[in-house]
A and B are shown apart, each in its own frame.
Chain A
Amino acid sequence: MRIWPAILLLLGLAGLAFGVDKDGAMTLSIPKDVSRTATAMPKNDRIWSAVILATNPDAPKEPPVELREFAPRLKRMFGYTQFELAGSATEEIDELTENWLLPSPIFPLSVTARRATSKEARGGYLLNLKIFQQNRQVCTSEVKLAPNSPLFIRGPLYGKGQIIIVLQVQH
């Protein structure tokens, strides 16, 4: 019949209209995160950690590439104008095994991760995080961490600035 192509075109356009939202509720296809949780954990999931030195110099420098997406938010949250990367470390996530991150020898981090099953976690992890200052454990946290949702830790004061530690899951 002649109207079938028109109907298919309309349905296709409607599908495009709803299909553009990757994680929204209106997505008609299987959400990416749900499909990921149904399969085996990909081996390339990593956790990135960094030690940031935040200061207020007279002539602040541009943040390094790794910190550019965080810098405006860090500025508003902590009130510093310059952010430098003092060190970073990336480790592949080995589930249920303790992973050690050493973005700086002064701040070792122990991370035990397991995949979060809830849909809202968006393919992230539930982390058991132990924060150390040198060889002294100062804090333990249970944190849900998803890709593109970094966790910041306000560390000690350093000189005239502040130490900030950041953790982020990377697919």
Chain B
Amino acid sequence: MKPFEEQFTAWVDGKLTDAELAEFEKQLAEHPDAAADRDDALKLGRLLRAHPPVLEMPNPDFFNHQLLQRIEAETPKPRVVEKKQWSFWSIPGLAWAGASCLIVAGALFATMIPGGPKHLETSTYFAQVVENWSTDPNVTASTVYDPKDQMTVVWLDGLDYIPATYALNK
């Protein structure tokens, strides 16, 4: 014999044979709430048939992820104040180091180099005689340098004397 629950389900669904129905109705006397339960079950069945089932989302994880992101974006975050740490290897730090090096180099140049910057300014180039030769057998040509006065002289000896009566700009 089927248990009462199975027979009750078949009874609600109207699937009991006549013999089974007669047998089951004998048991109903012991279950006074059975008729009300059957009415509730039938009402629920009608209700479910009247409304379509809930649609399944094709990508539930993606939907949840998007939803969480939107919630996070719209939720104001508590402002965290970060304390900036000074680093030597930052651009301002390197710029300071470079500027300091230039100043130190300038100070060393002005103080350590013999004569200082003026020494270079005043050490002007003076003429150089690469080669010098006489084309007259009576004349000798030599070069005299005077570094102190920055003078270069082509020294010619043996030239003809010129009397004072001879006008130079004739």
B88 at the interface (CB under 8 A from A): no
Q: Please report which residues of chain A, range 100-139, place their CB below 8 angstroms from some CB of chain B when the two chains form the complex.
A: 104-106, 120-122, 124, 126, 130-131, 133, 136-139
Residues of B97-112 at the interface with A, using a CB-CB cut-off of 8 Å, are 98-99, 102-103, 106, 109
Instruction: Find chain B residues with CB under 8 A from A21 CB.
Output: 117, 120-121
Cβ contact within 8 Å between A139 and B133: yes
Whether A1 contacts B92 by the Cβ 8 Å rule is: yes
Taking a contact as CB atoms under 8 Å apart, the answer to whether A77 and B146 are in contact is yes
Closest CB of chain B to A3's CB: distance in Å? 6
Distance A69 CA – B156 CA, assembled complex (angstroms) = 23
Residue from A7, A24, A104, A152 in contact with B121 in the complex, judged by beta carbons closer than 8 Å: A24
Which one of B95, B103, B141, B153 lies within 8 Å of A77 (CB-CB)? Answer: B153
Please indicate which of the listed interface residues B139, B164, B169 has the most CB atoms of chain A within 10 Å of its own CB.
B169
Assuming A20-B117, A144-B130, A152-B154, is B139 touching A10 (CB within 8 A)?
A: no
Q: Could you say which of A73, A121, A136, A138 has the most chain B C-beta atoms within 10 Å of its C-beta?
A: A138
Q: Are B141 and A139 in contact (CB-based, < 8 A)?
A: yes
Nearest CB of chain B from residue A114's CB, rounded to whole Å: 12
Q: List 20 A-B contacts (CB under 8 A).
A: A11-B95, A21-B121, A25-B120, A26-B109, A51-B169, A53-B168, A120-B125, A138-B141, A141-B131, A143-B129, A146-B125, A148-B124, A149-B124, A149-B150, A151-B129, A151-B154, A152-B154, A153-B153, A156-B160, A159-B163
